[in-house]
């Protein structure tokens, strides 16, 4: 069986793939979450800046409004996802023990779920009380 000639270099053919041939999806999801975090982080900073000088009750009412709560939930969800994926890359690159790596990767996912659930609970509690 002959291969079709290609003008792509070997490096271009395997870019973002690695040995398991699944790196492209992970790389694209990291980029997508990065681009989603850009406007969400700007909105988060504006929300926090608008809270300066407010008393507790007015800040609570402001944070409980639906548009603000939606932005906060999106920021938390995408941010925690991005954090977990970033830590996964670091763990895969720098943890070399075959026994410990699955445990550390599982702990990373559980930590992300715990932090995400706590932050979502906080935003929802502000919104519904």
pLDDT tens readout for residues 29-52: 999 999 999 999 999 999 999 999
User: Cα 86 to chain center, whole Å?
Assistant: 8
Q: State how far the Cα of 30 lies from the Cα of 53, in Å rounded to an integer.
A: 36
CATH of domain 29-128: 1.20.1300
Would you list the domain boundaries of the chain?
29-128
Closest C-alpha to 126, from 77, 63, 52, 68? 63
Q: State how far the Cα of 53 lies from the Cα of 60, in Å rounded to an integer.
A: 13
Q: State how far the Cα of 90 lies from the Cα of 57, in Å rounded to an integer.
A: 41
Q: What is the pLDDT of residues 58-87, one digit of tens each?
A: 999 999 999 999 999 999 999 999 999 999
Q: Structure pTM? A: 0.79
Confidence category of residue 18, pLDDT binned at 50, 70, 90: low
């Amino acid at each position: 069986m002959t291969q079709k000639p290609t003008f792509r270099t070997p490096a271009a053919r395997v870019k973002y793939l690695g040995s398991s041939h699944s790196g492209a999806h992970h790389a694209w999801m990291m980029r997508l979450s990065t681009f989603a975090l850009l406007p969400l982080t700007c909105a988060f900073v504006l929300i926090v800046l608008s809270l300066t000088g407010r008393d507790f009750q007015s800040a609570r009412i402001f944070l409980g409004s639906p548009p603000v709560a939606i932005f906060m939930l999106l920021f938390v969800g995408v941010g925690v996802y991005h954090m977990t994926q970033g830590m996964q890359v670091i763990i895969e690159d720098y943890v070399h023990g075959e026994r410990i790596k699955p445990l550390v990767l599982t702990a990373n996912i559980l930590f992300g779920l715990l932090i995400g659930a706590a932050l979502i609970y906080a935003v929802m509690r502000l919104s519904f009380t």
